[in-house]
Amino acid sequence: MWLDNTSKSAIESFWQLSGYVEPFPRDLERSVALALPLSVIKLARLKLDLIEKWLTRRDVHFSFGCRTRAVRGCLIAFRGEGLVFLDGTDPRDEQRFTLAHEIGHFLIDYLLPRQKAIRKLGPSISDVIDGVRQPGVTERLHGLLSGVPITLYTQLMEREETAGNSGIWEIEDRADKVGLALLAPPEIVLAEAGTSSRFEERTAVMTKLLSQRFGLPTPAAVSYARALLNSVGRGRSWAEDLRSGAH
């Protein structure tokens, strides 16, 4: 199964809130504006210090606490709202994938845990989550704040990271899956890609489909195609492994 139930529900809610389902390829910017308290900001040659300066000009004094470096994207969230910074000089397909990835983080790692805590403990718990006050005895006993970001939440998509980098699949697998499913729903991709008899052909056909119809950057398309085929038992067969080893 490509997505867990929580991720599926998050994606379904996203499209319901947006009021319509985007055609392919999806840029997601209009849908985000309709569905989430999330704004998209594009800065040329995105770096950490540029984000800090952008915030300072708006009277938000924040520091990443490290040396500046180039990043593809950055999510900053606080009090139930968020900002996604994208490198406006990146190719359109890279911006599309970066935005989808950060939406995944906002939904799964920030907004849903926050909403769950508020449902369980009431609206007043938002002050605890946002770092305005310390939790009371009852709130600490419930232990429901574990995993809920306290104060300002940040998430970076590094310049060298792409979906082809194993670090993302291991560390940020869930956010990647949500982002990819927003851009290219697995059931639609599998239905349109067909089922060639050879693994190499299956992968090539799906990779081309993901790049051309769904607008994914090539590294993301390659990794998604392989992972998706494996998830439905259409990865490399034992016979193909034997033939590959013989060569």
Tell me: the pLDDT tens digits for 205-226?
999 999 999 999 999 999 999 9
Among 122-126, 136-140, 178-182, the range of highest mean pLDDT: 178-182
Rg (CA), the chain: 20
What's the pLDDT band for 69 if we cut at 50, 70, 90? Answer: very high
Q: Report which of residues 2 and 70 the model is more confident about.
A: 70
Q: What percent of the chain has pLDDT over 90?
A: 55
Does the pLDDT at position 247 exceed 60?
Answer: no
**Residue 166 pLDDT:** 43
**Residue 167 pLDDT:** 42
Mean pLDDT of all residues in the chain? Answer: 86
Q: Report which of residues 221 and 2 the model is more confident about.
A: 221
- What tens digit of pLDDT does each residue of 125-142 get? 888 888 778 777 777 666
- Please answer whether residues 202 and 196 qualify as being in contact, where contact means their C-beta atoms are separated by less than 8 angstroms: yes
Does the pLDDT at position 53 exceed 90?
Answer: yes
pTM for the whole thing?
Answer: 0.87
**Residue 218 pLDDT:** 94
**Residue 173 pLDDT:** 82
What's the pLDDT band for 84 if we cut at 50, 70, 90? Answer: very high
**Residue 165 pLDDT:** 46
Q: Is the peptide bond before 25 cis (omega within 30 degrees of 0)?
A: yes
**Residue 241 pLDDT:** 53
Residue at 246: amino acid letter: A
**Residue 195 pLDDT:** 67
Among 4-8, 36-40, 151-155, the range of highest mean pLDDT: 36-40
What's the pLDDT band for 169 if we cut at 50, 70, 90? Answer: low
Distances (CA, A) of 67 to 23, 59, 64, 70, 243: 40, 21, 8, 10, 49
Mean pLDDT of 50-76: 93
Q: Quick one: angle between helices 173-183 and 5-18, nearest 10?
A: 40
Which helix (DSSP H) or strand (DSSP E) does residue 229 occupy? helix 218-231
Q: What six digits make up the tokens of 132?
A: 């305005």
Domain ranges of the chain: 5-162, 184-247
Mean pLDDT of 80-97: 96
Does the pLDDT at position 49 exceed 90?
Answer: yes
Of 187, 176, 184, the closest CA to residue 216 belongs to 184
What is the rounded distance in angstroms from the CA atom of residue 194 to the CA atom of residue 202?
8
Mean pLDDT of 138-153: 69
